[in-house]
Amino acid sequence: METAYQPTVQESRPELILPVRQKKPGGLLYFEDDYPSEAEKAYCILREKIITLEFTPGSAIRDADLTVKLGIGRTPIREAIKRLEVEKFLVSHHRKGTYVNSITLVDIKRQYQVRRQLLTLAVALASQAGETVRSMLERKANSLAACAETINGKNVVKSIEELEIDIARAGGNPFLCSTLQQYSGYARRTWHLLDSFLTLNDLQLQDYPVIMEGVLNKDGEGASQAMAYHVDQVHLKVVDRFLKKFI
């Protein structure tokens, strides 16, 4: 007699899937001696310089110059550049070279559509995590909302990205986590572009404790709705500020 398959439902254990790495001051993912490879080191450094606009949109990227500036071999630099091209932070033109991608209003809207879906899924999955993990997320959200007025705006947007990645990590889905990291990077790059036009109020940090309350109470649907509202409202303000700056 054939036995019916009975799935085993287990509590999410994100630490078994994506170990939490310590973050190096300045926003990089690793400490100086903790990079798993030279290519990963080059990728993290270049990505951060692009997001923070140290490498401005449209600027040329030359592997020979980066090898000298970063003290990393040309092969790891090229691997990092290819990876950043796939993620659309860089773009290559035949016989012209590689350049930092521009930031357009069309791209901002398209990125928002994807990021909204990722974040609403992330909080829904996080609501199924263990109580310790959910409580940790709530504390981080409350801390971010409480200290926003006392810390540098650029540090705030980095803290937002880190909180979003922590939420995705709590859900225990590494594919969601890596994809959201990419789209959170897009958002932070846009916020850096509009730095003098965006205020902390525009980022609606007061929404995060409300979102995390749903996660803490295992109300995935409520947390997803609160996150969708938050992302929608911030996006509307970003579009408004973009139009004021460039149109």
Whether 67 and 173 map to the same domain: the answer is no
The neighbour count for residue 238, using CB atoms within 10 Å, is 23
What's the CA gap between 29 and 108, in Å, rounded?
24
> What residue type is assigned to position 23 of the chain?
K
Instruction: Judge whether 186 lies within some domain.
Output: yes
Instruction: Judge whether 24 lies within some domain.
Output: no
Q: How many Cα atoms occupy the beta-carbon half-sphere of 34 within 13 Å?
A: 9
Closest Cα partner for 41 from 91, 68, 77? 77
Which of 100, 123, 154 is a domain's end point? 100
Q: Which domain holds residue 129?
A: 105-246
pLDDT at 111 over 70: yes
Instruction: Judge whether 16 lies within some domain.
Output: no
List, in order, residues 6 or more apart from 206 with CB less than 8 Å away: 145
Instruction: Judge whether 10 lies within some domain.
Output: no
CATH code of the domain containing 129: 1.20.120.530
Structural domain total, the chain: 2
> What residue type is assigned to position 246 of the chain?
F
pLDDT at 181 over 70: yes
How much is the mean pLDDT over the chain? 88
Chain segment 67-107, per-residue pLDDT in tens: 999 999 999 999 999 999 999 999 999 889 999 999 999 99
Instruction: Judge whether 215 lies within some domain.
Output: yes
- At 223 the pLDDT is 97
CATH code of the domain containing 76: 1.10.10.10
Give, for 66, the enclosing helix (H) or strand (E).
helix 63-70
Instruction: Judge whether 2 lies within some domain.
Output: no
Burial of 197 (0-12, 13-18, 19+ CB in 10 A): middle
Burial of 58 (0-12, 13-18, 19+ CB in 10 A): exposed
Closest Cα partner for 89 from 56, 40, 42, 41? 56
Which of 71, 100, 129 is a domain's end point? 100
pLDDT at 5 over 50: no
